[in-house]
């Protein structure tokens, strides 16, 4: 069976590193993105030039019809999805809870939580033996913020990742008898653009003394955990977590 991986938010950071590694592992890769088409095309070109097969598709995971279209396009262009990486995620500017408004919370939960649910729904409809599928894997991107709470920075984001942890456990149990494994990785402070989007590009530099390993992580280090969970090497693991956080 062809291995087909959809990586939401595959244009940059952890998603892009996962796309590169997945192509090396023999997956046909769909790199989805929201706005940054140039970065998505660059990753796809790199993979295709090195003998892999990848395609870029625009889809905002906060928009249900975009997700439905994304999965249908993947069916047509690459074949049925066998691995979903729910990677697209956002932060908003650092602030305390007593300064947050409902619009901000709606944006944070729409992308980080609802988007992951709807993508998983589309994947389960294709993978589940109950629906005539041949099984598959789902890997959710949580965060160690789910354990630490991100006080004074983004408690909303941390709470959204807490929801992803519970979602991972519940969905894993729901579809464990239908050929689907569902797991999550919890990255710590990883060197990507996400910290700049929270208003502090040098956040890792400020916080690295709090990390037992005394350094931030690389996107590739998270990607390796994702690919392990997707692989048959993790065949008896479901509803569980791999922390990639330098001991934090
Ligand atoms: P990043 O460098 O900021 O990249 C985010 C990616 O998500 C981009 O490809 C972006 O697409 C995409 N995206 C954002 N909103 C989207 C939407 N509405 N629909 C579709 N795609 C969307 O982030 P990252 O650091 O690689 O983070 C990846 C995941 O790991 C996230 O879930 C994040 O919460 C989690 N994580 C990261 C860290 C860390 O320290 N970096 C730590 C813990 C957890 P465009 O390029 O089109 O904007």
Q: What does the pLDDT look like over 137-159, one tens digit per residue?
A: 999 999 999 999 999 999 999 99
Cβ 211 vs Cβ 246: under 8 Å: yes
Q: Ligand 1 centroid to 11 CA: how many Å?
A: 9
| Ligand 1 neighbour 143 (Cβ under 6 A) | yes
Q: Ligand 1 centroid to 197 CA: how many Å?
A: 10
Q: Name the residue at shortest CA distance from atom 32 of ligand 1.
A: 89
Q: Average of pLDDT values for 112-141?
A: 98
pLDDT in tens, 169-225: 999 999 999 999 999 999 999 999 999 999 999 999 999 999 999 999 999 999 999
Residue 140 pLDDT: 99
**pLDDT at 112 > cutoff 70:** yes
Could you give all domains of the chain from N- to C-terminal order, each with its CATH number?
4-244 (3.40.50.720)
Q: What is the pTM of this model?
A: 0.98
Atom of ligand 1 nearest to the CA of 91: 34
Helix (H, G, I), strand (E, B) or coil at 190: strand
Residues facing residue 182 across a β-bridge: 138
Q: Which residues touch 25 (CB under 8 Å, ≥6 apart)?
A: 3, 227, 230, 231
Q: Ligand 1 centroid to 17 CA: how many Å?
A: 12
What distance in Å separates the CA atoms of residue 48 and residue 23, rounded to the nearest whole number?
9
Cβ 108 vs Cβ 164: under 8 Å: no
Q: Which residues touch 142 (CB under 8 Å, ≥6 apart)?
A: 161, 164, 165, 168, 184, 185, 186, 241
| Ligand 1 neighbour 14 (Cβ under 6 A) | yes
Residues facing residue 32 across a β-bridge: 57
**pLDDT at 74 > cutoff 70:** yes
Residues classed as catalytic: 157
């Amino acid at each position: 069976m062809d291995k087909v991986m959809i990586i939401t938010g595959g244009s940059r950071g952890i998603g892009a590193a996962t796309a590169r590694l997945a192509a090396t592992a023999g997956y046909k890769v769909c790199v989805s993105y929201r706005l940054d088409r140039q970065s998505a095309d660059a990753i796809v070109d790199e993979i295709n030039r090195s003998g892999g097969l990848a395609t870029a598709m625009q889809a905002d995971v906060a928009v249900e019809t975009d997700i439905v279209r994304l999965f249908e396009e993947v069916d047509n262009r690459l074949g049925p999805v066998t691995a979903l990486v729910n990677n697209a995620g956002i932060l908003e500017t650092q602030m305390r809870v007593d300064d947050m408004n409902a619009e901000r919370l709606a944006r944070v939960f729409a992308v980080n939580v609802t988007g992951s649910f709807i993508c998983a729904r589309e994947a389960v409809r294709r993978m589940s033996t109950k629906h005539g599928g041949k099984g598959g894997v789902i890997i959710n991107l949580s965060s160690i913020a789910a354990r630490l709470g991100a006080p004074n920075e983004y408690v909303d984001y941390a709470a959204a990742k807490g929801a992803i942890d519970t979602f991972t456990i519940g969905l894993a149990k729901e579809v464990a008898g239908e050929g689907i494994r569902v797991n999550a990785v919890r990255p710590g402070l990883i060197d990507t653009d996400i910290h700049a989007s929270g208003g502090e590009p040098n956040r890792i530099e400020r916080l690295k003394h709090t990390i037992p390993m005394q350094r931030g992580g690389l996107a590739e280090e998270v990607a390796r955990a994702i690919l392990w969970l997707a692989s048959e090497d993790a065949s008896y693991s479901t509803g569980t977590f791999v922390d990639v956080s330098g001991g934090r």
